[in-house]
Amino acid sequence: MLLSMIGIVALLFHIVGVLAATHAVMNTRTPQGAFAWALGLLLLPYFTLLPYLFLGRSRFHGYVDLHQTKRRQLRTIIAAEIASNDPLPPALARYASIATMADARFHHGQRLRLLIDGDATFEAIFAAIAEAKQCVLMQFFIFHDDQLGRRMQQALLERAAAGVAVCVLYDGIGSHALPKHYVETLQAGGVAIHPFATQRRSNRFQLNFRNHRKVVVIDGCRGFVGGLNVGDEYLGLKPPLAPWRDTHMELQGLAVTDLQRSFAEDWHWVTGALPPLLLPRISDGNASTMIVATGPADAQESCSLFFVGAIHAAQRRLWLTTPYFVPDQAVMSALRLAVFRGVDVRVLIPSRPDHRTVFLASGLYAHEAVGMFRYRPGFVHQKVLLIDDDTAAIGSMNLDSRSFRLNFEITALNVDQAFASEVEAMLEHDFAQAYELNEDSYRKAPYLTRLAMHVARLFDPVL
pLDDT in tens, 24-61: 666 666 665 666 666 677 666 766 666 666 555 555 55
262 inside domain: yes
Q: How many domains does the chain have?
A: 3
Backbone angles phi, psi at 171, to 5 degrees: -85, 130
Do 306 and 174 lie in one domain? The reply is no
pTM here is 0.85
Do 43 and 70 lie in one domain? The reply is no
CATH code of the domain containing 390: 3.30.870.10
Do 22 and 149 lie in one domain? The reply is no
The range of the structural domain enclosing residue 387 comes to 302-462
105 inside domain: no
Closest CA to 396 of 196, 227, 210, 216: 227
Closest CA to 395 of 271, 262, 283: 262
Do 231 and 337 lie in one domain? The reply is no
**Higher pLDDT among residues 397 and 448, named by residue:** 397
213 inside domain: yes
Do 76 and 223 lie in one domain? The reply is yes
Confidence of residue 369 (pLDDT cuts 50, 70, 90): low
Closest CA to 24 of 65, 64, 70, 57: 57
Measured in residues, the chain has a length of: 463
- pLDDT tops 70 at residue 79: no
Domain-ending residue, one of 227, 260, 285: 285
Do 281 and 410 lie in one domain? The reply is no
Rounded CA separation 156/134 (Å) = 13
**Higher pLDDT among residues 362 and 96, named by residue:** 96
Element (H, E) at 56: none
100 inside domain: no
Question: Which residues belong to the active site?
Answer: 212, 214, 219, 381, 383, 388
Rounded CA separation 389/393 (Å) = 12
**Residue 54: predicted pLDDT:** 56
Do 23 and 70 lie in one domain? The reply is no
374 inside domain: yes
With the CA atoms of 145, 169, 327 and 451 taken in that order, what torsion angle do they form, in degrees rounded to the nearest 10?
A: 30
**Residue 81: predicted pLDDT:** 47
37 inside domain: yes
Do 41 and 178 lie in one domain? The reply is no
- pLDDT tops 80 at residue 253: yes
DSSP state of 243: S
pLDDT in tens, 183-215: 999 999 999 999 997 555 544 334 567 899 999
Rounded CA separation 109/254 (Å) = 8
- pLDDT tops 60 at residue 314: yes
**Residue 55: predicted pLDDT:** 56
Do 313 and 332 lie in one domain? The reply is yes
Domain-ending residue, one of 251, 285, 319: 285
**What sign for the dihedral angle of Cα 288, 294, 300, 304?**
positive
Helix H segments across 103-146?
Answer: 117-130
Tell me what the pLDDT averaged over the chain comes to: 85
Closest CA to 373 of 386, 387, 389, 362: 362
Do 38 and 187 lie in one domain? The reply is no
Closest CA to 209 of 183, 176, 177, 172: 172
Print burial letters for 377-400: b (CB count within 10 Å at least 16), e (below 16). ebbbbbbbbbbbebbbbbbbbbbb
**Residue 299: predicted pLDDT:** 82
Q: Would you list the DSSP string of 191-209?
A: -EEEEE-SSSS--TT----
pLDDT in tens, 92-147: 999 999 999 999 999 999 999 999 999 999 999 999 999 999 999 999 999 999 99
Element (H, E) at 63: helix 62-78
